[in-house]
Chain A
């Protein structure tokens, strides 16, 4: 079966711009979670969507937002980009949400210049 697909793989944006990242989960998975990975910080939880509803949220500013569509595909948006937003953004899908059964995508590498 197809895995979790994230697009684009790489992105370069300028400070102040906004960006939208996309995640297509494994077929049948209803939960999509987003994580930010930066050197020395590990994977920081952004938010989780389940059946088109944001179910859980991490400690990120309101510039970070997301949504989930009826086919379970999810997008995350970052507005007013800052240099510190440069990171690898990972999404993970699972059948019912969180913890066990996570499958991660390969990530989108965002560079803000």
Chain B
């Protein structure tokens, strides 16, 4: 049961243009959504998050949009740079009965920014 889905395994964008990465979820109990970036041979690094009570959060070139009614979020990168080439994971956080939160990840989208 894939509760967090990233339907595009790869995306190619030209340098300077906008990159849009999409993510869909099914669990209404998720209270936070996060994006992580991962380079080969490294662990994922946190990029940006959004609370379920917001619909937009911006941090420099990165903006995350949340559409709760559609259970959809997207990450916009403007302008895209070659150093942005990496795998991007969407993740959703929910409280669990054992205490604390649990992160559920999507399968990732490989972004390639071309010169």
Contact = CB atoms under 8 A, between A and B. Distances in A.
A42 B98 contact: no
A26 interface: no
Contacts of B10: none
Contacts of A41: 107
Contacts of A98: 93, 96, 100-103
Interface string B92-115: 011010111111111110000000
Interface residues of B, number: 29
Contacts of B36: 104
A42 B108 contact: yes
A90 B44 contact: yes
B46 A102 contact: yes
16 contacts: A31-B100, A40-B107, A42-B105, A43-B91, A43-B105, A45-B102, A55-B96, A56-B98, A96-B100, A98-B102, A99-B101, A99-B102, A100-B32, A104-B36, A104-B44, A104-B45
Interface of B: 4, 6, 9, 32, 34, 36, 41-46, 49, 89, 91, 93-94, 96, 98-108
